Amino acid sequence: MGGGDWEAKEIRELKVGRYVNIDDEPCKIISISTSKPGKHGSAKANIDAVSIFSGSKKSLVGPVSTKVQVPMIDKRKAQVLAIHGDEVQIMDLETFETFSMAINADHESVLEEGGEIMYLVAMDRMKLM
């Protein structure tokens, strides 16, 4: 499964807590509000979301029938091999692939060598959970 995968969905199919691409950023949806259809239009949706990589707030407004990209978020388990400053070297517990990644500023759990962590892969980018 490639990390750049996504599927097209209509805005009306989206749910809070799920993900959507806004400006090529995979974002977690925090709220969705819809307005009543006007005389000549369809109902509009207003989506507020937060980028899972940068933490920045993003918004999306459009008719509920608009097609949007829903990123495929791959949650994976890994073992921590080594910690070097603000980088961690991990080994995927399924593929046994080893790689280093930055420890994100909003990372909260304790990292220790030999411990297990979760990380996610979306749009060819990775982040510790």
Block means of pLDDT (10 residues each) for the chain, 129 residues, are 75 96 95 86 92 94 95 95 94 96 81 93 90
65/13 same-domain check: yes
Here the CATH number for the domain that contains residue 105 is: 2.40.50.140
Residue 89 lies in a domain: yes
Residue 113 lies in a domain: yes
Residue 19 lies in a domain: yes
29/62 same-domain check: yes
Tell me the residue range of the domain where 120 lies.
Answer: 74-128
**Which pLDDT belongs to residue 38?**
73
**Which pLDDT belongs to residue 66?**
94
**Which pLDDT belongs to residue 82?**
96
**Which pLDDT belongs to residue 93?**
97
Q: How many domains does the structure of the chain reveal?
A: 2
**Which pLDDT belongs to residue 1?**
40
**Which pLDDT belongs to residue 2?**
46
* Structure tokens, 45: 């949706």
Write down which residue in 71, 90, 116 finishes a domain: 71
